[in-house]
A and B are shown apart, each in its own frame.
Chain A
Amino acid sequence: MSVTATEPAYLLEVDGLSKAFKGLLAVHDYHVRLSEGEILGIIGPNGAGKTTVFNLITGVLAPTQGRIRFQGYDIVGRPPHEIARMGIARTFQNIRLFRALSVLENVMLGLQMHTHVGLGETILSLPGFRERERRLAEEAMHLLELFDLAGMWSNQAQSLSFGHQRRLEIATALATRPTLLLLDEPAAGMNPSEKEELMTLITHIHKEFNLTIILIEHDMRVIMGICQRIQTLNYGEIIAEGTPAEIQANPHVIEAYLGHSHAVGAVLQRA
């Protein structure tokens, strides 16, 4: 999107990334070069190491080996909150919201890292503090409107329906004003029409917020519909990479993904 000829550097560069849990090699030699504005899809069977890749990039897990550079900075070893502050936001496979907090508070929490308030002005409730809180709430409401959640701003996050919770989680991730957004199976558990809405939403926020996105997804329709490039992981290794069309035709992918090549071929064709 905004990659200029004078600025050839990649937004995210990952090289030789490996993670071993005791004896198990969850991720082996993962690598990626991501340009600004790209949408990359990661597919692969359960346990292929997709979520582990996200956990490594966001600092939740420390890699056994490898290098991760974001905007030219080495981010391996940095704590998760610092990586989030640098501009990498994520959602989780099993929706993680602050359940007892209100919808508005969930979004405000994501926004608040950009405004620092001192302990003194907080306790004395100085005008500057109140003004910043007011602006934070306003901005959060604005974001909620975009996600069609403004009407339920005062509800507890846990009281929301599944689909609304997914949307709220993406909203809280966007509240951190990320450059890179990592979406971990956002369509899981959704019905076809909800998936359709989700695809529209992702395409929309991709443009609106100038995002670069990595999307882990099982649903072929979703992934083929919005990704320009797809990586396939199996047993922690990249077994194929290419455009949706290339991936669909790749025999390794077809074999790894569901095992029975004929059946898979049919599934992928339909998608």
Chain B
Amino acid sequence: MNKNALFYLALLTGLLFLAQSLLNDYYQRVLAVVFINIILTVSLNLTNGFAGDFSLGHAAFMSIGAYLSAILTLPPASKATLMPQLPTWLGQLELPFVVATILGGLLAASVAAVVGVPVLRLRGHYLAVATLGLMVIVRVVAINWTTITRGAKGINGLPAFTNLWWVFGWAVVTVYVIWRLVNSPYGRAMMAIREDATAAAARGVNVTAHRMLAFCVGAFFAGIAGALWGHLITAITPHSFSFLITFNVVVMLVVGGMGSISGSIVGATVMTLVPEFLRRVETSLSLGGHPLYGLSQIIIAVTITLVMIFRRRGLLGGREVQLPSLFDRRRAAPRARIETTG
């Protein structure tokens, strides 16, 4: 990594220290959700924005990651009371949080690989609907596989392992991995497929393999985000990961701009903070004695509509923003020139 990236990483780390010591629990939690949403949006961008497969399966993969990691991190004592029917080896198992998270991601990716075989035969709207079906399947399994998942009751009392550092660390890993992938022959092939799959194949690109790769990497990080989310809220049910989550992530992605990693970061941040802020506003405002519940949703809906009308390609329009460079003088030069002439 170059000096510049390290500088910004250090800056963010410092800010995070500050946030940890200054912000109360509520704001820290909101910040954690911002980072989880960044993981979700950036990873969905790989599938939807770069490879061009409009997947709506993110909630399903989150659910898989959350359930597996929950079962793996719960202390054997709580598992004995919560899930007495668990196979003994699983009941005895207690893994460190980071291992459980990675395994959650890997299981989500494996499910994506299996599901991908039939689903990736489809494109466009058909693919979107099929991945939506996956969410329903995962939910039905979670409700009915009671020995493992406790069914509709869900699993509660998860150890609250998720803190700002975990979510920040995973968000950095997600952004880094996907940024590297996108700026490599793999990413070039994915974007070529998005632009024209027939032409990509005619230039030697294995279309199915690259779509599968994007789908599985996206699912992996969704699984990670699910694990982090579960250990933040400390309770998961089959209904935790509903269409609403998928919808929110898609909105973050579209508002930020598909095919732009920085766009996803901006989209996720804005679309997490603004609704949270508006929620507080609507309880403090009132019209004729009635609090204005639902106002935030209306404002968000209008905002999305406006973005779609005036900036259809998202806030960043599919481009990447570069943070000002502090070390590379060559790149910094044009900026300096603008400043002196302006």
Contacts and interface: CB of A to CB of B under 8 A. Distances in A.
A112 B186 CA distance: 10
A153 interface: no
Contacts of A79: 201, 206
A133 B184 contact: yes
B195 A100 contact: yes
Given A98-B196, A99-B195, A113 B205 contact: yes
Contacts of A124: 180
A122 B204 contact: no
Contacts of A108: 185, 188
A109 B188 contact: yes
Interface string A103-135: 001001110110101010011110001000100
A81 interface: yes
Contacts of B199: 92, 96-98
B332 interface: no
Interface size, A (range):
35 or more
A98 B192 contact: yes
B330 interface: no
B195 A113 contact: no
B191 A81 contact: no
A187 interface: no
Interface string B317-338: 0100000000000000000000
B153 to A, nearest CB: 40
B202 interface: yes
Interface residues of B, number: 27
Given A84-B204, A122-B186, A101 B180 contact: no
A109 B207 contact: no
Interface string A126-150: 0001000100100000000000000
A96 B196 CA distance: 7
Contacts of A60: 198, 201-202
B9 interface: no
A1 to B, nearest CB: 24
A97 B202 CA distance: 11
Given A79-B201, A81-B201, A101 B188 contact: yes
A106 to B, nearest CB: 8
A58 interface: yes
Interface in B158-200: 176-177, 180-181, 184-186, 188-189, 191-192, 194-196, 198-200
A46 B297 CA distance: 55
A59 to B, nearest CB: 8
Contact of B181 (A100, A122, A176): A122
A85 interface: yes
B204 A123 contact: no
Counting chain A CB atoms within 10 Å of each CB, the highest count among B188, B194, B198, B206 belongs to B188
A119 B186 contact: yes
Contacts of A179: none
B121 interface: no
A90 B198 CA distance: 11
Contacts of B191: 98, 100-101, 105
Contact of A123 (B180, B195, B206, B207): B180
21 contacts: A58-B202, A60-B202, A79-B201, A80-B198, A81-B207, A96-B198, A96-B202, A98-B195, A98-B196, A98-B199, A109-B205, A112-B185, A112-B188, A115-B185, A117-B186, A119-B186, A123-B177, A123-B180, A133-B185, A136-B185, A175-B203
Interface of B: 176-177, 180-181, 184-186, 188-189, 191-192, 194-196, 198-207, 213, 259, 318
A-B interface, 3 closest residue pairs, ranked by CB to CB distance from nearest: A113-B204, A96-B199, A80-B201
Interface of A: 58, 60, 79-81, 84-85, 89-90, 92, 96-101, 105, 108-110, 112-113, 115, 117, 119, 122-125, 129, 133, 136, 172-173, 175-176
Given A89-B203, A97-B195, A98-B191, 16 more contacts: A58-B202, A81-B202, A81-B206, A81-B207, A84-B202, A89-B202, A100-B194, A101-B188, A109-B205, A112-B189, A117-B186, A122-B184, A122-B186, A129-B184, A136-B185, A175-B203
